[in-house]
Amino acid sequence: MLHAAGLGVVATTCAVIIAAVWVHPGSEEPDGLPISIDVPYVGPGVDSGTKVILRGGEVGVVTGLERTGADSVRMDLRLDPDQIGGLTDAFDVDFRPQNYFGSTAVNLVAMPGGSGLEAHRELDRTPTGDYTMSTMIEKGSLTVDGTLTESIIAGMDEVVRYTDGLTPMFDAGLLLADRIAHTQRALPSDLLGYFNDILEVFPAFNRQAIDSLTHIYNSTYNRRPDGSIGVDDPFMDETDAGLTLAAGQLFGQAGQLLKSHGDELTPVTGVVAELAGVIPHLHGGGMRPERLREALGRLDSVFEDSGDGQRLNLRIVLDDLPGLAAPLAYPDAAALSGGGAGR
């Protein structure tokens, strides 16, 4: 009886031990979908605990790294099944920063096709790129080291100095824009409309300008005596001789005449200036008919017909002189005083 009871206790103990060995490890296994990916390399900073992201969101973690060959590394991942909806075994892999601080993450890129992921799958992948912060800094350093030479630095220094020399021009442009903004009276829409009206005639203007150049090119002045296109040298020589004669003889003699008769020409220039004052854009005042009539009337009143011909009328205005004021003001003063004969 006691022997049978002892055998029962031993059997029960063995059953408990076996249950503890087989069942307990399964209950301690972490939640998630474990998969393994064999890649030829991993990005800087990838290690156990590195986050796995999909479409920018965290979907798992790297649980281990193991070198499986000279050019192969196995990454053990544990993914959250609730966060990887639509992801199949056709995904691509790359390495990139997880946040603005540059923390490296394994990025999964969903691709069309494939079948659903299963636990403990082993997949082979070649990363599509290494976009980690460390790699970017390394490539930037290599680029700077290969391109930022002494000549480039000297050129950049020249550009900076030239740009500094253009500062006054930039200041002038800003000042002009500020003055325009302060003096502008019309709305920008009206100004753009006026500018559009100006641009509207540009095509016709360009056509006319091209036609004018064409006519000049095909004119007789651009043809040789034999009718071919080109400069007529004999005609140009005659033209040059004529212009030289006009510059030396005509205008030179006119200059000598003006220089030798400056006093005589002064009244003429005064009359011309007076008449030009009523012509717009030649003198101040613009077009004023009353000034023109007044100037013509004053010019006509200067001369009057007499038996001997034209006579010039002059009016002499004298300043107040003590010795001339009384006789001029009172012509009969001498007769009234009785002593005018003796003066």
pLDDT in tens, 218-230: 887 778 878 788 8
Q: Which of 52, 60, 34 is nearest to 104 (CA)?
A: 52
Asked if 180 and 172 count as a contact pair (C-beta separation under 8 A), the reply is: no
Whether this prediction's pTM lies above 0.75 is answered by no
Looking at per-residue confidence, does 193 or 301 come out higher? 193
**Residue 283: phi, psi to the nearest 5?**
-155, 165
Looking at per-residue confidence, does 334 or 60 come out higher? 60
Alpha helix (H) residue ranges in the chain: 2-28, 133-147, 150-165, 167-183, 188-200, 202-217, 233-245, 251-260, 262-276, 289-302, 322-329, 333-337
Domain spans of the chain, in order of start: 1-29, 31-133, 222-259, 261-331
Contacts of 167 (CB under 8 A, 6+ apart): none
Looking at per-residue confidence, does 334 or 145 come out higher? 145
pLDDT bucket at 208, cuts 50 / 70 / 90:
very high
Residue 292 pLDDT exceeds 80: no
pLDDT bucket at 53, cuts 50 / 70 / 90:
very high
- Looking at residue 39, its pLDDT comes to 93
> Taking phi first (over 0 means left), then psi (-120 to 50 degrees means alpha), and beta for anything else, what does residue 228 get?
beta
Dihedral of CA 297/299/300/303: which sign?
Answer: positive
